[in-house]
Amino acid sequence: MRMRLMLLGGGNALGQALIRLGAEEDIAFLAPRPPEHGWDPASLTLLLDEQRPDAVINLAYYFDWFQAEGVSEQRLEQQERAVERLAELCQHHEMILVQPSSYRVFDGSRATAYSEKDEPVPLGLRGQALWRIEQSVRATCPQHVLLRFGWLLDESLDGALGRFLTRAEQPQELLLADDRRGNPTPVDDAARVILSVLKQLDCQAPLWGTYHYAGNEATTPLALGQAILAEAGQWRKLAVQAPTAQAHAARPDASEEPQHAVLACKKILHTFGIKPRAWRAGLSPLLDRFYRHG
C-alpha cells in the first residue's frame, strides 16, 4: 500500500476488524486516539494539518450510527459539523475520504432492493443526519467514497447483537419483526469491503461515488434472531430458545426504522469486483469473539 491511511475510530468494532484484516496483508493504519470529548472540527483540523495522510477512513461515529439504540439530536448535529469540517480538510489537502453511511437514508416504503440511484427519504433522526452528511461530503470533497451498509452486526456488548443476546439470557418473550427485511452484514465483511476499496484507490483508480454493500441473502429480524440463537447455543445455554414474531408496525422503532431495507449491491460488484458474502457464514466467528471477550 503506497497510500498513508488514517483511520478515525480504530477503537470500535469496525475499526478493530479493519486493523486486524489490514495486519494480515501488512497494511497499516495511522489510528490516532480521539480527544476525551471525541473528534470535533478543531481537533480534526489540528490532526490533519499535522499528519497529512493520503486517505482518511472515517469510522469515528460508527457506534452511534450503526449500533446504538438511539442518539440525541444534539449529538448527531455535533457529528454532522465534524464530518463537514473533515470533508473540507480532505478537499483542501487533496486527501481521499472514505465515509460510511447506512440503509437508514431510505424510508423502506418499497419492497424491492434499493440501488444507489434511488432517492433517499430518511425517516428518523439518524437517517436524516446521515443523508445530510452524505450531501455535504459530495458537495465538498470530490475524492470521496460513500459506503452505505446494511444491518451491521458486531461483537460489542452494548451493540445490537449484544443487546439481543443479553435479553436472551433472561426468561422472557423476545419479540422481533417478521415483516421487515434487510441484509445482515457482519463487521468482518464490512471491513473486507473497506480494505478492498482502499486497495483499488491505492492503484490511483478514480472510482469516486456512492456504493451499497450488504451481506448476501435478505432476511427478516425474526429469521436472523433464530439463526443467532441457534449458533449462540453452542457457547451458552440461553433462556430463550426462539424469538416471537411481531408486526413491523407494532415495533417501538417502527417510525424510524425502514420496513424494507434491502440494498442492491451490483454497482460495487461491477466497479470494484466486490462480491457479497453470505452473512450466515460470519455468525460463528462473530459469536466466538462475543463470548470470548464478553
Predicted model pTM: 0.96
CA distances from 55 to 1, 2, 105, 187 (A): 11, 11, 25, 21
User: pLDDT digits over 214-266, tens only?
Assistant: 999 999 999 999 999 999 999 999 999 999 999 999 999 999 999 999 999 99
Q: What is the pLDDT of residue 206?
A: 87
DSSP for the chain, written as a single string = --S-EEEETTTSHHHHHHHHHHHHTT---B-PPPPTT---HHHHHHHHHHH--SEEEE-TTHHHHHT-S---HHHHHHHHHHHHHHHHHHHHTT-EEEEEEEGGGS----SSPB-TTSPP---SHHHHHHHHHHHHHHHH-SSEEEEEE-EEE---TTSHHHHHHHHHTSSS--EEESS-EE-EEEHHHHHHHHHHHHHHHHTT----EEEEE--BS-B-HHHHHHHHHHHHTTT---S-SS-EEE-GGGSTTTTTS-SEE-B--HHHHHHH-PPP-BTHHHHHHHHHHHHHH-
Task: Give the burial string for 209-248 (b: 16+ CB within 10 Å, else e).
Answer: ebbbbbbbebbbbbbbbbebbeebeeeeebebeebeebeb
User: pLDDT digits over 201-214, tens only?
Assistant: 999 888 999 999 99
Q: Is the pLDDT of residue 293 over 80?
A: no
Average the pLDDT over 39-55 and give the result. Answer: 96
Kindly state the percentage of the chain with pLDDT values over 70. 100
